[in-house]
A and B are shown apart, each in its own frame.
Chain A
Amino acid sequence: MSASRGRRTAITALLVLLAGAPLLALAPAAPGAVRVAGMSLLWWYAGVAAPLLATVLAIIVLVRGE
């Protein structure tokens, strides 16, 4: 994968991760309100999963120098 393509893919992935939070929160039937281990799915996503994924993704691209 070329450097610019890798970077473009990473940026798209970051924006998709970002869009996931309002989509999960505002979708009909409120899937984000479902509780998983005591906390809502929305907060597991916006507070834990998406930040970790976004950080790992950014580190990989930055460290490779793409």
Chain B
Amino acid sequence: MTALAAVAVWLQPVLLAAVVVSVTGGDAAAPWLALGALVAPLVALLAPEMRPARVDPVTRAAVALAVTLVLASEFVLAADAAALLGRAPWLGVLLAAALALLVPLLPGARRASAAALALAAIAFALPLVSIALATGTAPWAAWSRAGLRPSLTFDETSGWVRDGERFARPAYLHFAEGQRVTALTAGTYRVVERDAAPPTVREWHLAAGESLALRSGDELAVEAGARLRFEAGRRVPGAPVTGVAWADAPDRGLPMLPGALGALATLVGGALALVPSARRGPAAAAAPLVLLVATTAAVGWGIYAGATAPDLALGGSLPAPVVGLPTRALGLRAGAPLAVLALGALAALAITAVVALRGRLVTTGSAAPALWAAAVALAAALAVIPLDPWRLLVLGLGLAAAAAGPARFSTAGDAAWAGSLVGVLAFAVLAGLPVVAPGAAPWPEVLARYPALLAMPLGWAVTKARSGGDAARNMATSL
């Protein structure tokens, strides 16, 4: 397999869109998430692959489930994109599932996907070049200017101000200043007023078109699917309070270290599990270059979106900055074709990723088309529930890391089997922690968010113990 085809499984639109939204919203973790999205697959490309002769049933089942979770994250993204284009979210899921079902089974799909991946990465970056040239602003200049703003506010061209927009996920909005919010969908809106101790919780049953007057310090709980309209010139609720806070998140500090370790371990472990080994040689240089173009473009999209329209990260819809930025930066006439190009690039990346995911299932010994159909159907069913696509991706990558990680470093089938079993069991227990023990202490909370942080080393340790040190030597050779 070429290196370019190998990294197709990694360049999931959800991963790139999550980096975009994270940078747009001034998330404290954005810098290492962006770097991890690039470095994790590079580590996997360089690491040797030492698979046992036969993949054990635990690894096979866990990888199939991991692939299903990753597919589901892509389908949720498709649902979000459909909603942004004014269509029903289930239409996006249906279209994505149909493509996922059929395209990987077409003859020549894997051969064509490498070239399609390179073209899609370039197409994802092109609108940014156009925005940079049209506005005469380099990304670092946009970042610098955004970091100097006194406040992050809605402008008059924002969709949230003109016609109102839809929340893709449930949200809990904190208002740094008072403003009138209009509900465009009937429903119950819960407001926490913090101007007195203890805080007062009020529930408002609003009909479409009715408004709520929120004061500074209030918090508003919004259900997924609700449509709201905000006031122009007011601060974006939930966004950093100032440009300085957007540039340097004030909550960055040592308490974030476990979460950072969890995110990076999940990314590296997931890449080691899913990105297959590839042929070396001059042609392999294309893979790191394509990864660099795609991840740098994701950071660029986030910077320009954060600088131009910070409200694009408000509704929790991952593709919103990519769809909305070109028209906000350049106007409808010049921006719409660029938005179509960027969305098309994400769709092409999704298709190449799906083809590669199917290939990953085949290499673990699950080549039956019926299994692929079952994975697609289950993923589509999961995507109908409004789950967080980033959470689905993290669970998919983490499960793959916990299950397939031990097998990557051991040629001893029994040892890899035991390691995979322990890894998968530990992963399931940790991922289930929020259900079993809600409100656990910070470390278990991190382990529940990133179960691979503990499940992966546990699996490796068992593999090492069972293989009498062979696995340890293999790991030392590769890492």
Contacts and interface: CB of A to CB of B under 8 A. Distances in A.
Interface of A: 4, 7-8, 10-12, 14-15, 17-19, 21-22, 25-26, 28, 30, 32-33, 35, 37-40, 42-43, 45-47, 50-52, 54-55, 57-59, 61-66
Given A46-B31, A63-B284, A12 B479 contact: yes
Given A14-B43, A46-B35, A38 B292 contact: no
Given A25-B28, A62-B284, A30 B48 contact: no
Contacts of A30: 248, 252
A18 B253 contact: no
Given A25-B32, A62-B3, A43 B268 contact: no
Contacts, number: 141
Nearest to A28: B254
Contacts of A37: 140, 144
Query: Which DSSP category, helix, strand, loop or mixed, fits chain B's interface?
Result: helix
A65 B39 contact: no
B296 A62 contact: no
A52 B284 CA distance: 16
B291 interface: yes
Interface of B: 3, 28, 31-32, 34-36, 38-40, 42-43, 45-48, 140-141, 143-144, 147, 247-248, 252-254, 256-257, 260-261, 264, 268, 280-282, 284-285, 287-289, 291-292, 295-296, 299, 476-479
Contacts of B256: 22, 25-26
Contacts of A25: 28, 31-32, 252, 256, 260
B48 to A, nearest CB: 7
Contacts of B38: 51, 54-55
Contact of A26 (B260, B264, B288): B260
17 contacts: A7-B46, A8-B478, A22-B32, A25-B32, A26-B257, A38-B147, A47-B296, A47-B299, A51-B35, A51-B292, A54-B288, A55-B38, A58-B287, A59-B288, A62-B280, A63-B285, A64-B280
A12 B268 CA distance: 13
Contacts of A62: 3, 45-46, 280-281, 284-285, 287-288
B292 A21 contact: no
A65 B280 contact: yes
B143 A22 contact: no
Contact of B141 (A38, A55, A64): A38
B43 A66 contact: no
Closest 6 CB pairs of A and B: A38-B144, A46-B31, A62-B284, A65-B280, A22-B260, A21-B32
A61 B477 CA distance: 15
Contacts of A19: 264
Contact of B252 (A4, A15, A26): A26
A53 B55 CA distance: 36
A59 B338 CA distance: 31
Contact of B31 (A12, A38, A42): A42
A55 B281 contact: no
A54 to B, nearest CB: 5
A22 to B, nearest CB: 4
Of B35, B254, B285, B479, most buried by chain A (CB within 10 Å of CB) is B35
A18 B479 contact: no
